[in-house]
């Protein structure tokens, strides 16, 4: 659907969002939108390292997940569908028919849920540092953390999270990034955080047995040193998805979009370009009365 591309901020049906126009409005992909979905405890600002790179070719929309930033709280016992419906309502309000959907951590679960429920509205899906089919020990650890969440952010809990995400001690060159993430974790609405984290803790098997139906190009990208969103998880998801591919960034950990933005951006742009080309080829084949069965990965 053609519309004027305007950079700005807005609120739609309880969702706070920002939209960034493509830097080259006449480019072949300027009419395509990339939506960015953050993880638990973050907000849309965590995607700042990706905006300039992605807007080189695409319109970009970043928004606050339910219970985060300036968006509304989720219900007391939310489901993944509730978060996927938030994205659907946002796209409706912005009159965006189809989009590339990129999610990190919890946002990756939401992105996959949306792509499975609404393949006709999904140009591609990129799941960064996604969780999938945890081991019993991994599941026990995350459920234990979820059970300890209260009505206020606990500094000790935040520091433990930073240790998992950045290393202990935090490497000197990542100190600034870790402090920015720490500030986000300490400022998040504790009720929204707790409700969302409990869902995240119990949803690692939400897509087990379902990814064979993922009918769009899919990238599963994680860090070599992310033990909780491990390379084996990304490889298992890519193997299950018909158009899936797994990529692993060497020496990267969970918050790789802020610690390794250049490499993350390069992988995302390469994937999005291939997905755009595949979608264009599919549209051409459909117009000419046939549908290509070629796998684009």
Q: Which residues are the active-site residues?
A: 105, 129, 254
Tokens of 119: 């393949």
Burial class for 229, CB neighbours closer than 10 Å (0-12, 13-18, 19+) = buried
> Which helix (H) or strand (E) element contains residue 8?
strand 8-12
Axis crossing angle, helix 190-201 with helix 136-147, rounded to the nearest 10: 160
Nearest CA-CA partner of 125 in 220, 59, 234 = 220
In this structure, what DSSP letter does residue 128 have? Answer: E
Residues with Cβ within 8 Å of residue 126, at least 6 apart in sequence: 100, 101, 102, 103, 111, 218, 219, 221, 268, 271, 272
Q: In the chain, count of helices (H) and strands (E)? A: 10, 8
The string of DSSP codes covering 11-43 is EETTEEEEEE--S-TTSTTTT-EEEEE--TT--
Q: Can you say how many angstroms the Cα of residue 269 is from the centroid of all Cα atoms in its chain?
A: 15
Residues with Cβ within 8 Å of residue 269, at least 6 apart in sequence: 53, 54, 56, 57
Contact 69, 43 (CB under 8 A): yes
> Which helix (H) or strand (E) element contains residue 126?
strand 122-128
């Amino acid at each position: 659907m053609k519309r004027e591309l305007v950079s700005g901020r807005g609120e739609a049906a309880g969702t706070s969002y920002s939209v960034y126009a493509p830097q080259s409005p006449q480019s072949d992909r300027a009419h395509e939108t990339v939506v960015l979905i953050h993880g638990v405890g973050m907000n849309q600002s965590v995607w700042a390292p990706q905006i300039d790179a992605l807007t080189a070719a695409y319109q970009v929309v970043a928004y606050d997940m339910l219970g985060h930033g300036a968006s509304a709280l989720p219900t007391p016992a939310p489901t993944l569908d509730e978060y996927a419906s938030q994205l659907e309502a946002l796209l409706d309000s912005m009159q965006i028919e189809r989009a590339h959907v990129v999610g990190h951590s919890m946002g990756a679960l939401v992105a996959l849920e949306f792509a499975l429920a609404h393949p006709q509205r999904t140009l591609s899906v990129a799941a960064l540092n996604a969780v999938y089919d945890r081991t019993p020990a991994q599941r026990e650890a995350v459920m234990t953390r979820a059970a300890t969440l209260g009505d206020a952010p606990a500094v000790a809990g935040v520091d433990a999270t930073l240790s998992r995400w950045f290393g202990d001690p935090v490497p000197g060159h990542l100190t600034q990034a870790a402090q920015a993430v720490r500030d986000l974790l300490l400022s998040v609405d504790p009720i929204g955080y707790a409700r969302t984290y409990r869902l995240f803790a119990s949803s690692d098997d939400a897509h087990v047995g379902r990814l064979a139906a993922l009918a769009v190009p899919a990238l599963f990208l994680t860090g070599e040193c992310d033990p909780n969103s491990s390379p084996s998880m990304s490889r298992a998801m890519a193997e299950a998805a018909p158009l899936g591919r797994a990529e692993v960034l060497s020496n990267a950990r969970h918050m790789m979009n802020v610690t390794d933005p250049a490499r993350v951006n390069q992988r995302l742009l390469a994937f999005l370009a291939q997905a755009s080309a595949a979608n264009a080829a599919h549209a051409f084949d459909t117009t000419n009365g046939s549908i290509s069965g070629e796998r684009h990965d």
